[in-house]
Structure 1
């Protein structure tokens, strides 16, 4: 897949309804859904210096994700829970994970964000992490 080609992703195709995780009985916390949030996984890629070509590749990937995520309707049925709408949280989380994954890729480092982003590519939403470190995947 090219850095910016996300047209083939069928967002949320393999995901359950958001209520599945919202009504879970185990303790978990949300993964970031805003670019400004701190990396909860302790990844050291937040303030790394990228070369110009690496930075451009990450930027193109982010731009491609933005374009692809536009296909998700604001009233996506899997992301509605009563009066609450999780579409923007999903999009923000996908962008955060995509950017972190891109940084791990260009630096050729092992990290959790590549694994997390692979769930998005499969039509799922890795929305959180349990206290024991297991991913909460919708």
Structure 2
């Protein structure tokens, strides 16, 4: 599936807590009560990529206009699509994760676009599919397992 198709078909956060984990993943139905040492996935574009390091960022910085245009197009499409997510969708008592989750989705789209352009569709393309299904791939455990809510 292409990145644009995934964005257009995304059911952003509409099925959180219902994901069925695949190998290398841990699905949780109650993120608020999850007890474990996790590293949240990035929520803003200036954060480092915990999967590829600087490799995909270097592709973007090389300055090929077509790549930059595609990243920007997908980013804008995602921003527009995420407007359908109601405020407080991911509120747990006093903490509202909704904006962080939206930021993580934007980061994911950016990196998935770069993975596709680099010909190495992998982690971020897979994470985008999880978003498309309505879940939130939110963190990595110490052993690299992806935590999905």
The TM-score bracket by the shorter chain reads: 0.7 to 0.9
2:145 maps to 1:134: yes
Counterpart selection for 2:37 from 24, 27, 30: 27
- Partner residue, 1:62: 75
CA contact (8 A) 2:71 2:113 kept: yes
Q: Partners in 2 of 1:127 and 1:115 — Cα distance?
A: 13
Aligned with 1:41: secondary structure? coil
Distance 1:2 1:127 in 2: 22
Match of 1:120 in 2: 131
Q: CA deviation at 1:51?
A: 2.0
Aligned CA RMSD, in angstroms, stands at 2.1
The equivalent residue for 2:25 is none
The number of residue pairs the alignment matches comes to 136
Please list every run of 5 or more consecutive structure 1 residues that lacks an aligned counterpart in the other structure. none
* More deviation, 90-99/104-113: 104-113
Shift of 1:115: 1.4
Indicate the residue corresponding to 1:72 in structure 2. 85
Runs of 4 or more above 2 Å deviation: 1-8
TM-score, normalized by length of structure 2? 0.81
Query: Which residue of structure 2 aligns with residue 94 of structure 1?
Result: 105
8 Å CA contact 1:15, 1:123 repeated in 2: yes
1:36-47 mapped onto 2 (5 Å cutoff): 36-43=46-53, 44-47=55-58
* Rounded Cα–Cα distance in structure 1 between residues aligned with 2:2 and 2:40: 29
Q: How far did residue 19 of structure 1 move? A: 7.8
User: Secondary structure of 2:139's partner?
Assistant: strand
Mark the runs of 5 or more structure 2 residues left unpaired by the alignment: 19-27
3-state SS of 1:46 partner: helix
TM-score for both structures, normalised by structure 1: 0.87
